[in-house]
Amino acid sequence: MASPSKALPAARPPDMPGPAGGTSRRRLGPRLSQRIPVYPVLLFGTALMVLPLLWMVSTSLASTKYVTTFPPKLFPDTFEFANYARIFSDTDLGRYLFNSVVIVIPSMIGQVVASSFAGYALARLRAPGRRIWFVVTLATLMIPYEATIVPTFVTFQYLGWINTFWPLIVPQLFGSGYSIFLMRQFIMQIPTEYDEAARLDGLGYFGIWRRIIVPLSVPALATVAIFTFTFQWGNFLGPLIYINDPDKYPLALGLYAMTQTSNVGQTPDWNLIMAGGMLLTIPMVMVYFFGQRFLYEGGNALGQIRV
């Protein structure tokens, strides 16, 4: 690895242009693009990224007879849009989808509220022990999930929560180290003058949280909600451990179970499985698509880490 040159200035001199934001097109001598064929390499990479996705879409629209033909073709001769109706009528994916929604929504609300509470306390309220709790919050990030999995399972089993959604939802109601860290960083950027003004108007701590902090930290709240959705929507290990009753499977586990129930030696209905894969994928892609501006603002708070 290259060690940085000691001559690099530590701070930007005042008369220099700001960080290149992609708008400045000043030439810098021989560019990378003049040395490597940028477009062929990028197109090749893009093809590797996108073609499998196109293949998922096209298989999800293929007829059952078609998917067993060999060698496979990239596009089917006819598009069977009825496959997307069949996954709701011929399989249990509709029920699994409903279960996923029932698990995901309270998880998102719980994470957002609990993280916002703790982030506000750590960013704004002076109390003995605040620094220690902040360090402990960061320390929880270093504990891998499998280090606590056995006792947690034993506890939930003792509570009689096997085959319920509680073991999946309840842990989300306390917040998490990452969400709280993100909230704290974001709230620290909000000028304290707003709090002062609100206090002069007679608001208490809860009122300040409710009327000042929450409205001004929407990007961070949205980021926490998106991350929680991402985790919970794709969560596989949790449902695998805690849910044995197929009526209660969430989508990710149910889709997996669908591939397992086809008889040995028999090819699963790949077109329906790919349609199920699309059902699992589309909400995620939509969440990222509509949430990306929040992710950008929310994530920027992490770029200015001041511990």
Partner 1 sequence: MSGRTRETIAFYLFMLPWIVGILALYVVPLGASVVLSFTNWDLFSSPQWVGLRNYSSLLAGEGSNFWLALRNTAYYAAILVPVNLALSVAFALLLNQPIVLRRWFRTAFYLPSTIPIVAVVMLWSWLLAPSGIVNSLLSVVGVDGPAWLVDPDRVKDGLIIMGVWQLGGGVVLFLAALQGIPRYLYEATMLDGAGAWRRFRSITVPMLSPIILFNLINGIIGALQVFTQVYVVTQGHNAGALMMVPFLYENAFEFNKMGYASAIAVLLFLMIMALTVVVLRWSRRWVYYEGEVS
Site for partner 1 in 63-92 (CB under 8 A): 70-72, 74
Quick one: which of 87, 225, 280, 301 contacts partner 1 (CB under 8 A)? 280
| 202 near partner 1, rule: CB under 8 A | no
Q: How far is the CB of 82 from partner 1 (least distance, A)?
A: 20
What string of DSSP letters covers 87-141?
Answer: HHHTSSHHHHHHHHHHHHHHHHHHHHHHHHHHHHHHHH---TTHHHHHHHHHHHT
**CB-CB contact of 141 with 177 (8 Å):** yes
| 125 near partner 1, rule: CB under 8 A | yes
Which residues inside 222-261 make contact with partner 1, applying CB under 8 A? 230, 233-234, 236-237, 240-241, 252-253, 255-256, 259-260
Q: How far is the CB of 157 from partner 1 (least distance, A)?
A: 8
User: Looking at beta carbons only, is 94 or 171 nearer to partner 1?
Assistant: 171
| 132 near partner 1, rule: CB under 8 A | no
Q: Report the greatest alpha carbon distance in the chain.
A: 75
| 150 near partner 1, rule: CB under 8 A | yes
**CB-CB contact of 241 with 153 (8 Å):** yes
| 304 near partner 1, rule: CB under 8 A | no
Which residues inside 100-119 make contact with partner 1, applying CB under 8 A? 114-115, 117-118
In SS3 terms, 70-91 reads as CCCCCCCCCCCCHHHHHHHHCC
Whether the bond into 71 is cis, omega within 30 of 0? yes
Number of amino acids touching partner 1 (CB under 8 A): 113
